[in-house]
Structure 1
Amino acid sequence: MVEATAELGYRERPSRFDGAVVWTRTVTRDDLGLPVLPVLPDGCMDLLWTGGTLSVAGPDTGAYRPAVPVGTRFAGIRFFPGSAPALLGVPAHELLNRRVELADLWPSATVRQLTAQIDDADDTIAALEAIVLRRAADTEPPDPILRRIAVALDAGWSVAQTAEAAGLGARLLHRRSLAAFGYGPKTLARVLRLQRALAVARSGVALADTAARTGYADQAHLAREMRDLAGMSLRELLSR
């Protein structure tokens, strides 16, 4: 995931890999002096290319504040919640709140070859996306039930409702969620609800109405969740 230093130099589009988004970012001198916003938890994992290194950003339970030198170039693919572990070959909970080099997960020789392909490409993001698509063609797809779980929780369903609809007991749902999302369904529901609230608030809706529309008990509840998951108030985030 990329830091929201400013919108300058950031681009994204839907990926050809199902449910994913590809993005690019270059930190320039124009960004200096602008407030650096943290990466907020979103239930996703990213495959990143940064200055000749491939790495993976695991799922977060809190705000991540990267140190970003001027001139740093990013390209990334942000996967739909639950879809990255099957592709990467590692359970999500093993990468919880971590950034690791891809060479720690895949054979180093393979990663060197893939990195060289991206380094030499005219279109960095297309090269990264092509690697993901080739990998997906040789990998068993994630269980479709994982997408249904994420969609249900994002729609505001309770964990009990989600488990019943998925045909899973509470314990099995928790185990499946740890492997797919990095944390249990209750935490995933909180993270997705926070992202819904951010989207609504950014559209200009008053904070009290934002809280009511997105499943919070009241505005104070929304404020507590923002502090806990984002480390800052919603007003502070919106003001930047």
Structure 2
Amino acid sequence: MYVERASRLPGAVVWSRALSGPATAAGPVLPDGCMDLLWTEGRLLVAGPDTRAYVPDGVPGGWAGVRFFPGTAPTFLGVPADELRDMRVDLAELWLPSEVRRLTARVDAATDPVAALEEVALDRAADASPPDPLLREIVTALDAGHSIAATADHLDLSARQLHRRSLAAFGYGPKTLARVLRLQRALALARTGVRFADTAARSGFADQAHLARDVRELAGMPLGELLARSSWLCMALPASGKLPRRI
């Protein structure tokens, strides 16, 4: 079972899956612009920003994670997001291995691994610089459906500056980020029963065929099949900063 809650770390949520009770197979993870700090017994990992659906490998088991609002994880990790695009890597590849071993043992030994992982994130964030507030404005503008040119103009950036900042913060350029956020808006509407044609129009797609193509390319299956899979429960990312759920 998947459970999530707001984190004490601003701009993040904490989640867990099958930490107790019978383990269940994990469903694919949809692109959402986020990055995660992950724990499973004996390992700490990082999930980079996805540009396509990610299907977890290996035997199902207990997992915990801290999911960061788009653009905030690179400051925490000390690594540009584009270096981790479409990747899952051991944290020891990014931080001192001796420190990662100590942190892994700390979470492994905790009565509540989820809370222990959150403490790791809080401790690290206390020593890191805060994320550039401009990044949240980029997400807000693109998620509202503004064009890349309008977003750059509003933020007093050139198109090249916007692209460079987006690569380092989100893992891909503003065009891909806007596409990912548009998909999440569409899924949020479609899951409430909005007709696909209306979903396409309200989400910013040219038409229903455009929506269908994007869903197939980003999610790996038709929209109808995607909605039928309850494990693919992704929520839109509104300007309030609420994070999407992904399993």
TM-score for both structures, normalised by structure 2: 0.89
1:11 aligns to what? 3
2:187 aligns with one of 177, 198, 209: 198
Give CA-to-partner distance per residue, 1:34-62, whole Å, 9 cap, x none: xx632111001000001220000000111
Give CA-to-partner distance per residue, 1:67-116, whole Å, 9 cap, x none: 2414x110001100000001100000000111000000000011011111
Q: CA deviation at 1:29?
A: 5.0
2:37 aligns to what? 47
Q: What is the rounded CA distance, in whole Å, between the counterparts of 2:24 and 2:129 in structure 1?
A: 41
Q: Contact 2:18–2:24 at 8 Å: present in 1 too?
A: no
1:24 aligns with one of 16, 23, 31: 16
Please report the RMSD computed on the Cα atoms of aligned residues, expressed in angstroms. Answer: 1.4
Give CA-to-partner distance per residue, 1:152-211, whole Å, 9 cap, x none: 111111111111111110001100000000000000000011011111111111111111
2:133 aligns to what? 144
2:171 aligns to what? 182
1:78 aligns with one of 37, 51, 67: 67
Opposite residue 19 of structure 1, the aligned amino acid is G
1:6 aligns to what? none
1:229 aligns to what? 218
Does residue 1:122 correspond to 2:140, yes or no?
no
Q: CA deviation at 1:30?
A: 6.7
Q: Contact 2:14–2:67 at 8 Å: present in 1 too?
A: yes
Query: Following superposition, which runs of at least 4 residues in structure 1 exceed 3 angstroms of deviation?
Result: 27-32
Q: What is the rounded CA distance, in whole Å, between the counterparts of 1:99 and 1:31 in structure 2?
A: 20
1:38 aligns to what? 28
Q: What is the rounded CA distance, in whole Å, between the counterparts of 1:103 and 1:117 in structure 2?
A: 15
SS of 1:175's equivalent in the other structure is helix
Q: What is the rounded CA distance, in whole Å, between the counterparts of 1:101 and 1:52 in structure 2?
A: 11
Of 153-162 and 99-108, more deviation after overlay is shown by: 153-162
TM-score for both structures, normalised by structure 1: 0.91
Q: What is the rounded CA distance, in whole Å, between the counterparts of 1:29 and 1:124 in structure 2?
A: 17
Q: Contact 2:29–2:54 at 8 Å: present in 1 too?
A: yes
1:3 aligns to what? none
Which ranges in structure 1 are unaligned for 5 or more consecutive residues?
1-8
Which ranges in structure 2 are unaligned for 5 or more consecutive residues?
230-247
2:57 aligns with one of 47, 64, 67: 67
SS of 1:199's equivalent in the other structure is helix
Opposite residue 206 of structure 2, the aligned amino acid is A
2:122 aligns with one of 122, 133, 149: 133
